[in-house]
Amino acid sequence: MNLIFFGPPGAGKGTQAQLLQQREGIPQISTGDMLRAAIRARTPLGQRAQKFVDAGELVPDDVMIALVHARLNQPDARRGFVLDGFPRTVKQAQALDRVLEASGRPIDVSVYFDVSDEVIVRRLAGRRVCRQGHIYHLEASPPKVPGRCDLDGSPLFQREDDREVTVRRRLEVYHRETEPLTDLYRRRGIFEPLRDGDIETVYRNLVAIVKTKTGSQKPD
């Protein structure tokens, strides 16, 4: 099964992709994770992408398309995948179509995570991480010791792209560049909206969509 998860930053796409990955045994392909790893490693791609990520802007299409193309060609993605946060523009969607058509792997369903801007700002501005990537939230899941990771004791910090001014800029970019995908996928008959809620409720609704659209017989 081949799935796309899209929606505003902080909508919970990554969390649900991880849960579905465990259920279906297909890889979660997160462009955000791949970019952050490249930035931490200071690869040429990471250095090129960092200024766009820090400013809340979209990374250029050619960089993202090359990154995703290479990942989709890896053996574990041959029998299916969950694309988390890609495509983010109509141009990227068209490029993805060409890649998948060449290998006979059409998208089964495109799931839209429908979350309001104010909820997104509250979620992301309160997020804190450590250098190892462990994630906390000042309200929803605070660390036991303020400012310190529960797992390794390292200091927590706010990512540049989680600062409120950057989050609001990211949302502006999202509405301008990514939201048009709703019409594109609706016309193709593969668009499925997923309303916000607690993790368990969203996951239950997501599994129902996947079963209906792909015929998955995996037990709940």
* CA angle, residues 161, 38, 48, in degrees to nearest 5: 75
Closest CA to 162 of 136, 128, 125: 125
How far apart, in whole angstroms, are the C-alpha atoms of residue 90 and residue 181?
6
Catalytic residues: 13, 88, 127, 159, 170
CB 67 within 8 A of CB 34: yes
